[in-house]
Structure 1
């Protein structure tokens, strides 16, 4: 086998499909027995992703143009309205099944219920499946990647922890909107959010775990009881959660034995904690580099998958991440939202929330392989 992909999330399945389309033999393994279990993302796709990638429209909710930024008091939010659909919330179990179908159609084999244990004697050991021999391993196994440690690559060290409730709402009872609350009492270093698309509501909080002394689940339940823009559930409530890397793309992402994609690679915006757009963009670069390396055997090809180069746009985001982390009192958070009411503050907030740039800027450091000859 050419490539073993560990992790059947969006990054893993997208990378696997691209590799199979380049005539490589690919196996995806995931410790979960169902792709609908263990979902950790809200599933918010931003406009630039919707424009650049062919996502199934029937699995996306209606467009969201309004963002409301609330201070801890929850009074007098700052409303930002775009003249374009900026966000759409996806049915993530459906998105994963769609990505699985596309990968399998390209020739990818997928084995669920198989946990990656490591490499030994030229083979990869799996719990729940027979060992497999693979020339290359792609780690798409999340923020606390076992593959990264096993390959001696960099690991995520700056993490938020998030939790979310998802529930259906009565159709027509709300207008699609994205509500964000800056309140260090319930989300130290990040925010609480409520986003609905007219069909489902997502209510969540995230923050630095060391500062969430009451526990993320308790804080989520507290926020869900009085969060803004809340609509009453009309069906079962689903809980999601997990770690979110916010240190930016890791520097050492690849070695002759494998590379990292998605959360395992730190492919998440340090500022907004959004990871769906960067995971798709980095997966395309990763597939090109992997293909080039396996075709030629030239390890220098792996230098094109360089986290250091991809961090070029980090400075501003990391500075704002540090500012987020410094908002440890409600009074400071109240003042920060107040500053967003000024023309400069509104411009900066709109640039962050409605920006046209991508993170990381993969196009500036791209690598293309020659097509396979017929």
Structure 2
């Protein structure tokens, strides 16, 4: 049985060393004035050495952390009522980098922030960004829309929330990936739905994901004018991320810590995290490897007749019986894995089985919103028309 993995926290600087850093920085900054760093509508303070509270203006000020490694951003200049509207439509909390990236794009193109990266990178901000842009107000009866199906591509599991789209030919898109609906995202992933179900991890914030995409684009571009434009955007994005304290690494410490809790990779490769106690209760392995399960699925899909297909379904039916036993013994992760693999395979032949396994698994794991999302997605799973706000 695969366990949940331990939580090993990376070591930090010693107390004496940290105190020395604080004292040194305090001497250098204690007589300095607040510096106004206008970037995407956000003002930041120069140091955290001041203990006197500073009043907030419309453009919120924040204090940069003393240690660069632990730099923390301030709150982005996005009205609280607009934040509540976004999160009420999706019933999911959005991380602060989501809002900071919006103000960053406002700095690039104040009139059309969502399209600020279209000409240079071929990227467009969508999904919850459509609400920040007010696009939902232009759609009649938008209140009745299921926003968790808005820009939900064919292979997107409930854990994935699209925020940026790219090449429509491959259906490239970026999105937040979270293990539970009541938690913040654990990373930003990318997928090309026209190709496969694979989710590639690209940092733990949207600045990192776009930076990695931009660096790849720079290697492909040969035109000097286009290269110059990309480098300019890269400089602005890198500076913004550093000022705000966002990592630009593809694999952060936080993401590596999550890897230790992943019980199985699944077909999409991003992995599943479920609670596993010290007695290894919470997950048990499927009796089939990923390779053998893929062969079983292929046999079912390619069966020459319904009779042959029904016969080929026998191993899946057997695994579903094992899942029932596992659920009785609180190993809910097994059903989640089997259901997710069948969903990721993509064939409509598995929609009914996935529709039985996944909602049950999510509800048992108390991830009820994910259960609702997968039920709605399977009921209207389309390779086209993923923009719910399209006219």
Q: TM-score range by the shorter chain?
A: under 0.3
TM-score using structure 1 length:
0.25
Higher helix proportion (structure 1 or 2): 2
Higher strand proportion (structure 1 or 2): 1
TM-score using structure 2 length:
0.24
Higher relative contact order (CA closer than 8 Å, sequence separation 6+) = 1
- Greater Cα radius of gyration, structure 1 or 2: 2
